[in-house]
Amino acid sequence: MQAFSDGLRKAGRTIGFVPTMGFLHEGHLSLMRLARQKADALVVSIFVNPAQFGPGEDFATYPRDLERDMALIATVGADALFTPEAAEIYPRGFETYVSLETLPHHLCGLSRPVFFRGVATVVTKLFHLVKPHLAVFGEKDYQQLQVIRRLVRDLNMDITIIGGPIVREPDGLAMSSRNSYLVPEQRPAALSLYKSLVQAAASVRAGRTRAADLVAEARAAISAHDQNRIDYVSICDPLTLDPIESIQDPALMALAVKVGTTRLIDNIILEPAVL
* Binding interface with ligand AMP (CB under 6 A): 20-21, 27-28, 31, 137-138, 140-141, 164, 166-167, 174-177
Residues 34, 173: Cα–Cα separation, whole Å: 21
Return the closest-CA partner of residue 24 out of 52, 57, 46: 46
Reply yes or no on whether 28 is catalytic: yes
- C-beta of 147 vs 211, nearer to ligand AMP: 147
Give yes or no for a contact between 103 and 110, defined as CB atoms under 8 angstroms apart: no
Residues 247, 206: Cα–Cα separation, whole Å: 12
CB atoms within 10 A of CB 56: 6
- C-beta of 130 vs 141, nearer to ligand AMP: 141
- C-beta of 108 vs 211, nearer to ligand AMP: 108
Shortest distance, CB of residue 174 to ligand AMP, whole angstroms? 5
Shortest distance, CB of residue 226 to ligand AMP, whole angstroms? 26
Nearest residue to ligand AMP, scored by beta-carbon proximity: 138
Residues 131, 15: Cα–Cα separation, whole Å: 8
Question: Pairing relation of β-strands 262-270 and 251-259?
Answer: antiparallel
- C-beta of 27 vs 132, nearer to ligand AMP: 27
Residues 25, 131: Cα–Cα separation, whole Å: 25
Whether the CA torsion 69, 184, 167, 50 is positive or negative: it is: negative
H-type alpha helices, the chain: 2-10, 26-38, 66-76, 86-89, 107-111, 115-130, 142-154, 187-205, 211-223
Whether the CA torsion 61, 25, 52, 172 is positive or negative: it is: negative
- C-beta of 163 vs 234, nearer to ligand AMP: 163
Shortest distance, CB of residue 14 to ligand AMP, whole angstroms? 19
Catalytic residues: 28
